[in-house]
Structure 1
Amino acid sequence: MKAESLGKAVSGSISNFALYSEAQSADDPEFIHIEDIPSRARLFDWTINIHTHPRMYQLVYVRTGQVRIHIDGEERKEPAPCIITIPPSVVHGFEFGRETTNGAVITVSQLVIMDEQFQRDFPFVEEMLRTPQIVPLGQHPGDTEFIGQLITQMEEEYHERRTGKKQMFEWLLYSLMLKVGRRIQASRRARDEGHYERLYRLLTQLVEHHYREHKPATFYSEELHTTTTSLNRACTAVAGKCLTELLHDRLTLEAQRMLIYSSVPVSLIAYDLGFNDPAYFSRFFKRRTGMAPITFREMRDRDE
């Protein structure tokens, strides 16, 4: 079955495999399997039809070549190097680049990753164990080299009889999963930062038009079709302050400008900035600057 027909097969029966078409192994919590991609893919004309592993977790490392990935009804083509994480029971299939793709498939019993201590100690449970991930590595040569070395060592440990093999293999697996989790986290942060920068820019433009109106935070979130939580996160990520601080800073800045560059009475400045009570404006200004408006203006006059 080729990539274009992978999606059509979803409507039919989905096979439940332990290791592709192999019979289900005993539920040994220490069961871990690793094999290179070509040795398996060649048997199926480089196309692995959609299937699930109900009690198995997989990491598919594509070292060279390319792969078309089918995960839960969606398809995506990804060049090497990349790594794909497949939690238990996720419907997936692959079409690997014929004779050009190399890499490894690591399969772990669900009992290993669902172990209570593992779930408690592993810092990327949500990112890696509950959601499938496609992790490009091409722009991160340091990570690519480190992950490649870990998997090479895992392959050596798997095929050799060595003292402490079980402990070494588990350590290598945990190190690999930590490294992949960090890469997923870093990519997500980069996406969030780009999103927050755009959101912050739109927010400051909106604030510039409405700060005198003392609009609530919900006004800005509704205008920007987002949530106040997202706005606060954007403000914190970009400016190191919350939305309320941003609004108060803008009012304070304008008040300082008017006190310095005009002779308008403080009461009129208060009304111009949307305050109904000049006394409240004075208290607001003092909280923000440490001095009353009239004192701030007098200091300006003395400096001149």
Structure 2
Amino acid sequence: MKATAIGKRSSRGISNYALYSEAQSADDPEFIHIEDIRSRARLFDWTINIHVHPRMYQLIYVRSGHVRIHIDGEERTEQAPCIITIPPSVVHGFEFGQENTNGSVITVSQLVLLDEQFQRDFPFGDEILRTAQVLSLKRHPEDTRVIEQIIAQLEEEYRDSRTGKKQMFEWLLYALLLKVGRRLHASHRTREEDHYEQLYRRLSQLVEQHYREHKPATFYAEQLHTTTTSLNRACSAVAGKNVSELLHDRLTLEAQRMLIYSSVPVSLIAYDLGFGDPAYFSRFFKRRTGVAPSSFREMRDRG
């Protein structure tokens, strides 16, 4: 099921929830907290009201079931498996399905994420540390398996008190955030590529109608209600060229077809393709193919 935004909610009267003492320390044994969704949600009739954590980062992994998510006034429903990331001070709340919903809630002191080395080295900071994200894992079983393993290790460390617990937590948390960041980054790139493919297809259809008219890139951008920058990005992403090259390639292809499959004089081919000067057409064709139109036709005749 694809999640969609379905409404708005006022953020007035937001509760401030705290799991830690006011004077936090990164060495506090409770700099991280883990619990399963069912044990917490059942206490509140499966509804966690709108609230905010000023100094804590949360990652919610929904293993099974579904959840209605409220983030900064927007609402959506997501099916498991999915990951929800909640940076500090982001308003949020959840309504979990009662029948079979389960998973894990990982809460981390902001101090851990403000570590200078962590901030310097972590490559997905803007994507998942400063912006709330909802990431579906339904189509990514391999990523889900790894995330499950890391969370299971975090939960095991949480239950025990072995030497190096804090360091192990930080290492596992870093691995988990990296895995989530990679999947999120790949998801964004896929959506971008899908957008570019659609734009490129529409552009190609329009080029078929107008390539003989030698319209500039701005014409195509206006017709498609976009910008020349977006058109160039789409062409580069899909075909490895810009709009001008796409237009020139189409003219060259049609010229080659006419030279191969007809005996029309080169000058008439030039006019048919919208060139006002046959000599200019010949220079254009040679730049694109390496040979003059007449030589191209002779090569066809010899072949």
Decide: shared fold, TM above 0.5.
yes
* 2:4 paired residue number: none
* 1:45 paired residue number: 45
Letter in structure 2 aligned against 1:263: S
List per-residue Cα deviations over 1:212-261 (Å, max 9, x = no partner): 12212121111111222222222223223222221111011011112222
Deviation at 1:34, TM superposition (A): 1.8
Letter in structure 1 aligned against 2:36: D
* 1:112 paired residue number: 112
Deviation at 1:176, TM superposition (A): 0.7
| Runs (4+) off by over 4 Å | none
Sequence identity of aligned pairs in percent? 77
In 1, are the aligned partners of 2:11 and 2:91 still within 8 Å (CA)?
no
Q: What aligned pairs does 1:155-170 form with structure 2 within 5 A after superposition? A: 155-170=155-170
Deviation at 1:63, TM superposition (A): 1.4
In 2, are the aligned partners of 1:38 and 1:99 still within 8 Å (CA)?
no
Which runs of no fewer than 5 residues in structure 1 stay unpaired? 1-5
Letter in structure 1 aligned against 2:23: A
Deviation at 1:301, TM superposition (A): 1.9
The Cα RMSD (Å) is 2.0
Q: Distance in 2 between matches of 1:115 and 1:223?
A: 50
* 1:57 paired residue number: 57
Q: Distance in 2 between matches of 1:220 and 1:144?
A: 42
In 2, are the aligned partners of 1:83 and 1:136 still within 8 Å (CA)?
yes
In 2, are the aligned partners of 1:69 and 1:94 still within 8 Å (CA)?
yes
Higher alpha-carbon deviation: 111-120 or 241-250: 111-120
Secondary structure of 2:107's aligned partner:
strand
Secondary structure of 1:78's aligned partner:
strand
Deviation at 1:24, TM superposition (A): 4.9
List per-residue Cα deviations over 1:73-109 (Å, max 9, x = no partner): 1111112211101122211100112263221111222
Scaled by the length of structure 1, the TM-score of the pair is 0.89
Q: Distance in 2 between matches of 1:88 and 1:221?
A: 41
Q: What aligned pairs does 1:13-32 form with structure 2 within 5 A after superposition? A: 13-19=13-19, 24-29=21-26, 31-32=31-32
Letter in structure 2 aligned against 1:26: A
Letter in structure 2 aligned against 1:142: E
Secondary structure of 1:259's aligned partner:
helix
Report the CA distance shift for 1:280/1:120 in structure 2 as closer, same or farther (over 3 A): farther
Secondary structure of 1:26's aligned partner:
coil
Q: What aligned pairs does 1:199-278 form with structure 2 within 5 A after superposition? A: 199-278=199-278
In 2, are the aligned partners of 1:61 and 1:103 still within 8 Å (CA)?
yes
Q: Distance in 2 between matches of 1:11 and 1:301?
A: 77
List per-residue Cα deviations over 1:247-298 (Å, max 9, x = no partner): 1110110111122222222233222222233232222211111111121112
Report the CA distance shift for 1:270/1:84 in structure 2 as closer, same or farther (over 3 A): same
Q: What aligned pairs does 1:20-169 form with structure 2 within 5 A after superposition? A: 24-29=21-26, 31-98=31-98, 100-169=100-169
* 1:3 paired residue number: none
Secondary structure of 1:162's aligned partner:
coil
Q: Distance in 1 between matches of 2:218 and 2:120?
A: 37
Letter in structure 2 aligned against 1:135: L
Deviation at 1:29, TM superposition (A): 4.0
Q: Distance in 2 between matches of 1:109 and 1:275?
A: 68
Equivalenced residues, count: 294
* 1:300 paired residue number: 300
Q: Distance in 2 between matches of 1:247 and 1:287?
A: 14
